[in-house]
Structure 1
Amino acid sequence: MPLEISPAEFDRLVGQALDSLPDEIAARVDNVVVLVEPTAPPEDPDLLGVYDGVALTERAANHAGDLPDRILLFRDNLLEMCDTPEELADEVRITVVHEVAHHFGIDDARLDDLGYA
């Protein structure tokens, strides 16, 4: 049975995860919006989160004027995999760090090496 918390409480956990980023990392996360969606897209129903944008390492020198990059977190999948509020807080933090890392151009293989895959 999935863990149940209110959308507002889930959003609070996301905010805490973002606030836990080291200052030098957080300062470089620019023009990125973090959104919570109830469910993952049908083409990839098991996703916990996804980075939708152009990584800093891939941007052209004249990269400007584009819509913000997005980090999407999928609440139902995160809730389903956790049994306790503490597990959920940890998994939300791990997922946020994972997706922020993609913003910096870190791929899944390296994230796996670092324990964030």
Structure 2
Amino acid sequence: MPLEIAPAAFDRLVEEALDSLPAEIAARVHNVVLLIEPQAPPEDPDLLGVYDGVALTERAANHAGDLPDRIVLFRDNLLAMCTTPEQLADEVRITVVHEIAHHFGIDDARLDELGYA
């Protein structure tokens, strides 16, 4: 049975995950918005999160004036895979780190090596 928590409590877990980032990493995340949606898109229903943007390693020198990159977490999928609040906190943090890594141009293969895939 999936874990159930209030949306505000889930938001706090996301905030805690962001606050746990090392300062040197957090300082380099610019023009990125983190959103929480209840469900993943129908075309990819198993997603926990997604990065939608241009990685820092792929940006042109004149990259400016664009809308913010987006990181979207899918609350229902994260809740469905967890049975305890501690497990949920871990999965939220792993997913946040995973998607921020994509912002820095780190691909899934490297994330898997690091334990974040």
TM-score using structure 2 length: 1.00
Deviation per residue, 1:56-83 (Å, 9 max, x gap): 0000000000000000000000000000
The alpha-carbon deviation at position 32 of structure 1 amounts to: 0.2
1:33 counterpart residue number: 33
**CA RMSD across the alignment:** 0.3
Q: Read off the aligned partner of 1:112 and give its amino acid letter.
A: D
Deviation per residue, 1:74-111 (Å, 9 max, x gap): 00000000000000000000000000000000000000
Deviation per residue, 1:13-50 (Å, 9 max, x gap): 00000000000000000000000000000000000000
Q: Read off the aligned partner of 2:15 and give its amino acid letter.
A: G
1:63 counterpart residue number: 63
The alpha-carbon deviation at position 11 of structure 1 amounts to: 0.4
Q: Read off the aligned partner of 1:5 and give its amino acid letter.
A: I
Q: Read off the aligned partner of 2:57 and give its amino acid letter.
A: T
1:8 counterpart residue number: 8
Q: Read off the aligned partner of 1:78 and give its amino acid letter.
A: L
2:47 counterpart residue number: 47
TM-score using structure 1 length: 1.00
Q: Output aligned runs, 1:76-91, within 5 Å.
A: 76-91=76-91
**Number of matched pairs:** 117
Percentage identity across aligned positions?
87
Q: Read off the aligned partner of 2:100 and give its amino acid letter.
A: V
Structure 1 runs (4+) deviating above 6 angstroms are none
Structure 2: state its 5+ residue gaps: none
The CA distance in 2 between the partners of 1:19 and 1:104, in whole Å, is 18
Q: Read off the aligned partner of 1:19 and give its amino acid letter.
A: D
